[in-house]
Structure 1
Amino acid sequence: MQQDNLTTTKIMGIINANNDSFYEGSRFKGLDAIEKINSLIQDGAQIIDIGGVSTKPGSLPISQDEELQRIKPICDLIFKEKIYEKVTLSIDSYTPKVIEYALKSGFTIVNDITGLQNDEVVKITAKYNATVIIMHMQGEPQNMQVNPTYKDVVSEVHQFFTKQIQKATQFGIKNIILDVGIGFGKSLEHNLSLLKNMDSFLDLDCEILIAASRKSMIDKITPSSINERLSGTLAIHLDSVRRGASLVRCHDVKEHHQALKVQEAIDNI
Structure 2
Amino acid sequence: MKNYKIKIMGVLNANEDSFFKSSRFDSKEASSKIESMIENGANIIDIGAVSSRPGSIAVDEKIELERLKNIVDIIYDEKYFEKVDFSIDSYSPLVINYVLNKGFKIVNDITGLQDDEVCKVCSKYDAQVVIMHMQNNPSNMQEKPLYKDIVLDIDNFFDKQIKKAKKFGINDIVLDVGIGFGKNLEHNLMLLKNLDYFKHFGYELLIGASRKSMIDMISPSTIENRLAGTLAIHLESIRNGASIIRCHDVYEHNQAIKVQEAINNI
Same fold (TM over 0.5): yes
Range of TM-score over shorter length: over 0.9
Residue 93 of structure 2 is aligned to residue 93 of structure 1: no
Residue 49 of structure 2 is aligned to residue 52 of structure 1: yes
C-alpha distance in 1, partners of 2:62/2:240? 40
SS in 1 for 2:70: helix
SS in 1 for 2:140: coil
Residue 254 of structure 2 is aligned to residue 253 of structure 1: no
1:29 is displaced (CA, Å) by 1.0
**Bigger shift: residues 210-219 or 32-41:** 32-41
Cross-structure match for 1:156: 153
Paired residue type of 1:247: I
* 1:1-269 mapped onto 2 (5 Å cutoff): 4=3, 8-269=5-266
C-alpha distance in 1, partners of 2:31/2:217? 34
1:14-56 per-residue CA deviation (whole Å, 9 max, x = no partner) reads 0100000000000011130221011000000010000000000
1:164-195 per-residue CA deviation (whole Å, 9 max, x = no partner) reads 01110110012000000000000000000000
TM-score by length of 2: 0.98
5+ residue gaps in structure 1?
A: none
C-alpha distance in 1, partners of 2:73/2:28? 11
1:32-86 per-residue CA deviation (whole Å, 9 max, x = no partner) reads 0221011000000010000000000000011011000001010111111111111
**Count of matched residue pairs:** 266
1:211-269 per-residue CA deviation (whole Å, 9 max, x = no partner) reads 00000000000100000000000000000000000000000000000000000000111
C-alpha distance in 1, partners of 2:35/2:164? 35
1:110 is displaced (CA, Å) by 0.3
1:87 is displaced (CA, Å) by 0.6
5+ residue gaps in structure 2?
A: none
Paired residue type of 1:179: D
SS in 2 for 1:167: helix
Calculate the aligned-residue CA RMSD, in Å: 1.1
C-alpha distance in 1, partners of 2:31/2:57? 27
TM-score by length of 1: 0.97
C-alpha distance in 2, partners of 1:120/1:204? 24
Paired residue type of 1:238: L
C-alpha distance in 2, partners of 1:185/1:121? 22
1:94-127 per-residue CA deviation (whole Å, 9 max, x = no partner) reads 0100011110110000000000000000000000
Identity in percent: 61
SS in 1 for 2:28: helix
